[in-house]
Amino acid sequence: MFTSTTIGDLYQIILTNTLICALEDLTTRLNKYKLTACNSDNVENEFTALLENNIRSSCLPIGVENFDGDLAAFFVIENVEKMILKPWGAKNLSLESISLGQYKNEIAAITIKLEDQRRRLTPKLYY
């Protein structure tokens, strides 16, 4: 989804239901998300302050091993919405040109696709 940075270990085997639940939780958090304005000189400090004490402020799924340690947040930087990413173990932040609205639409589309796949792949149990 992102052009400059890889977030999440997508080669890990994951449980679809866990990921769907994490994406639904993410959607709830994104719907309440308040954008903060900053400039390119203080974005790292703002990012750290936002996420250092509350992982629920991250704009990534929580509780899914694929994203453990990865962090993301949205800011308005010099009047442009940007997503700031910090992959696990990275020293530097990456900026992505995606708005909060675009990202919410992407997460919704991914969730629908996963739910469809789960329905098709789940065997029907008859009693």
**Under 8 Å CB-to-CB from 88, ≥6 apart: which residues?**
68, 69, 70
Top-confidence residue, 95 or 3 = 95
Under DSSP, the state recorded for 83 is E
User: Side chain identity at 10, as an amino acid letter?
Assistant: L
Mean pLDDT lowest among 5-19, 33-47, 81-95 = 5-19
- Rounded to 5 degrees, φ, ψ at 103 are -65, -45
Given the structure tokens 């308005």, which residue do they identify? Answer: 76
- Residue spans per domain, the chain: 16-121
pLDDT at 10: 52
- pLDDT tens digits for 81-115? 999 999 999 999 999 999 999 999 999 999 999 88
Residue 36 in tokens: 């903060």
123 has pLDDT over 70: no
- pLDDT tens digits for 44-59? 999 999 998 899 999 9
14 has pLDDT over 60: no
Confidence of residue 33 (pLDDT cuts 50, 70, 90): very high
pLDDT at 100: 97
User: How is the beta sheet containing 94-96 ordered, strand by strand?
Assistant: 36-38, 71-77, 80-86, 94-96
Residue 62 in tokens: 């929580």
Under DSSP, the state recorded for 44 is H
Q: How far is CA 106 from CA 31, 61, 102, 123, 126, in A?
A: 13, 13, 6, 28, 35
* 94 strand-pairing partners: 85
First and final C-alpha spacing in the chain? 42
